[in-house]
Structure 1
Amino acid sequence: MRPRAVVFAYHNVGVRCLQVLLARGVDVALVVTHEDSPSETIWFGSVAAVAAEHGIEVIKPADPNDDALRDAVRRAQPDFIFSFYYRHMLPTDVLALAPRGAYNMHGSLLPKYRGRVPTNWAVLNGEAETGATLHEMTAKPDAGSIVGQTSVPILPDDTAQQVFDKVTVAAEQTLWRVLPALLAGEAPCLPNDTARGSYFGGRKPEDGRIDWSQSGERVYNLIRAVAPPYPGAFTDIGEVRFIVAQARLAPPGVRIGAPRTNLPPGLHVSDNAFLGVCGDARVIAISELWHALDGKPAVITPAEFLKLTHTSPHS
């Protein structure tokens, strides 16, 4: 008899890990996912669509504490519960409905970066690697024993989306590798020493505000960590908001024209190009800048920037 599972899932990791379960012969009786928010840019795959393709029942409760959700899980009679980038903590009484265990796929190398948006935090903090970890679910977030994990590199110019794409593959590889042992009741149970790790909360769009007095490395890491399709790192000049969509940090000591070395920290136009000057005099070469007039971001040229800000170019 095939092992039976209820899957809580969303986003690309949810899509790929659900497909791994199906490819490994797991009977997925129910998929629990989210309604897409009209205020969010949906750049990722649909778990609900994959479930529908396979004839799997899908529900989208707003509250994981809803009694109707408990009833649906109970009716599904799962051996296992899996959570793949589902955005809510699951109550312990729901987890207890799976006699063979409940497991979550987290987008970091636990115990590091427990909590929310771990990929963005890892990029923001200048980490050189991250990964994906499958672990047992407990009452505390990302605190259960580790079943398996896979690491991926974070290159110096990687954006959070590029790293997230790698983490998605790492999640798929991790689940594919450990699932046979998990289904056989022979999976490893490795310590997850939260005292040696770190916990991070969610991030809001306002957290993308650039402080040009910070070091070039810190500013660049912020730009990479929230680059589109995330809300983007931004700076305000007057009443106009500018979003740095694509950029690169110039090497230390690099001069791109003598006048630039005298510019104060902030966003500037010089030689018909955008650049950001940071508190340690490092320069960020900006290849794509957006303005957010009327709440609708659009690419802007240096000439349009100068007109909007009523500033003079540096040449």
Structure 2
Amino acid sequence: MSPAPAWRVAVVAALPQTAPPLVEAVRRLGHTVPVVIGWRRPRAWPGHLLGEHDLPSGVDLVLPHTTAAVGGLLRAYAVDMAVSYGYPRRLPADAVHAPRHGIANCHPSALPAYRGPNPVGWAVRDGREAIGVTWHRMDEELDNGTVLAAAGMPLLSEDWSFTHVNDRVLSVALPLLPTVLDRLAADDPGDAQTGGPPSWAGFFEADYATIDWTRPAHQVHDQVRAWNIAGHHPRLDGPVGVIEGRPWKVRRTSLTAPGHGAGRRVECADGPVWVTAADPLTAR
């Protein structure tokens, strides 16, 4: 039996939580990753940015100034295909069609539900107990392409951070890669997105950045979780709650008493919630 073909696969990912696992997974399958296409993050972006030291030897990191340059970069590296997860910009048609077998994107929802940049945040906001993990062919529209592989993933009570959710999504997505790459290489058109009308999961709006303590406790708790999981917002800093006349950025809450005098009890419409982590803010 002849060995499986080895392909040149670019990774399109801007975060240190997503790019290295994708590179390692593709290489474990026997393929070459010549380049990671990252993105220049704003100066205000919190936390660690993807750097060359995050990637294994032999993998270049390129940070294009605009998405208009991505197609030329993919052609310059002569890649057969590309895989993407968590890239913060929609790629133009020139980039989408630059690899000869196309680009597969991982999206943490059961498409066409929750298209957009904040799918898990909205799933938590809506009280969902599970999400989908979908690999789809990338086209010129955001999260619109045909499905190559999909699975489900429960949302857990300990899902509190953007990083933790990404790790869990990748644990579901990476085992699907052999199917995804095989279908790309075969120029398989993929399957239509089904399951209902499309919905949009954009950045949270300004009204959702303020905590209304007169709402039910579980809604307040989910609001805080949703903002944590949504990660960086380019325009808003939330959620903010006023406690004893002072505004706080609330980072963590509990629906049960944490014990040992920890946390601050706040009464909601149907019972208390305990604020266990918050940062003081200047009055608005």
Q: Same fold (TM over 0.5)?
A: yes
2:271 maps to which of 262, 265, 282? 282
- Please identify runs of 4+ aligned residues in structure 1 that moved more than 6 A: none
Residue 48 (structure 1) shift:
4.0
Quick one: distance in 2 between partners of 1:76 and 1:210? Answer: 48
1:115 aligns to what SS in structure 2?
A: coil
Indicate the residue corresponding to 1:247 in structure 2.
Answer: 253
Quick one: distance in 1 between partners of 2:207 and 2:21? Answer: 31
| Cα 1:103/1:54, change in 2 over 3 Å | same
Residue 128 (structure 1) shift:
0.4
Report the number of matched residues: 270
Unmatched segments (≥5 aa) in structure 2: none
Indicate the residue corresponding to 2:203 in structure 1.
Answer: 202
Quick one: distance in 2 between partners of 1:40 and 1:112? Answer: 27
Indicate the residue corresponding to 2:25 in structure 1.
Answer: 20
2:60 maps to which of 57, 60, 63? 57
Cα deviation digits, residues 182-221 of structure 1 (max 9, x gap): 3652868222138523112123787432122322222111
2:6 aligns to what SS in structure 1?
A: coil
- Report matched runs for 1:226-245 at 5 Å: 226-227=227-228, 233-236=239-242, 240-245=246-251
Name whichever of 285-294 and 23-32 sits farther off: 285-294
Quick one: distance in 1 between partners of 2:71 and 2:184? Answer: 23
1:27 aligns to what SS in structure 2?
A: coil
Letter in 1 for 2:14: Y
Matched-pair identity in % = 22
- Report matched runs for 1:1-315 at 5 Å: 2-11=6-15, 12-42=17-47, 46=50, 48-51=52-55, 53-66=56-69, 69-156=70-157, 158-161=159-162, 162-175=164-177, 177-179=178-180, 181-182=182-183, 184-185=185-186, 189-193=190-194, 196-203=197-204, 207-227=208-228, 233-236=239-242, 240-250=246-256, 274-278=264-268, 280-292=269-281
1:16 aligns to what SS in structure 2?
A: helix
Q: Is the 8 A contact 2:120 2:131 kept in 1?
A: yes
TM-score normalised over the length of structure 1: 0.74
Cα deviation digits, residues 94-144 of structure 1 (max 9, x gap): 212122122111122212211112111111111100132110011211111
Q: Is the 8 A contact 2:109 2:119 kept in 1?
A: yes
Quick one: distance in 2 between partners of 1:237 and 1:287? Answer: 13
Residue 250 (structure 1) shift:
4.4
Unmatched segments (≥5 aa) in structure 1: 257-270, 295-315
1:123 aligns to what SS in structure 2?
A: helix
Quick one: distance in 2 between partners of 1:113 and 1:134? Answer: 14
Indicate the residue corresponding to 1:302 in structure 2.
Answer: none
Letter in 1 for 2:254: R
TM-score normalised over the length of structure 2: 0.81
Letter in 2 for 1:57: D
CA RMSD of aligned residues (A): 3.1
- Over alpha carbons, which structure has the higher Rg? 1
Quick one: distance in 2 between partners of 1:188 and 1:130? Answer: 24
Quick one: distance in 2 between partners of 1:16 and 1:205? Answer: 34
Quick one: distance in 2 between partners of 1:170 and 1:157? Answer: 17
Quick one: distance in 2 between partners of 1:82 and 1:165? Answer: 17
Residue 36 (structure 1) shift:
4.0
Indicate the residue corresponding to 1:265 in structure 2.
Answer: none
| Cα 1:70/1:239, change in 2 over 3 Å | farther
Per residue, is there more helix in 1 or in 2? Answer: 1
Residue 17 (structure 1) shift:
1.6
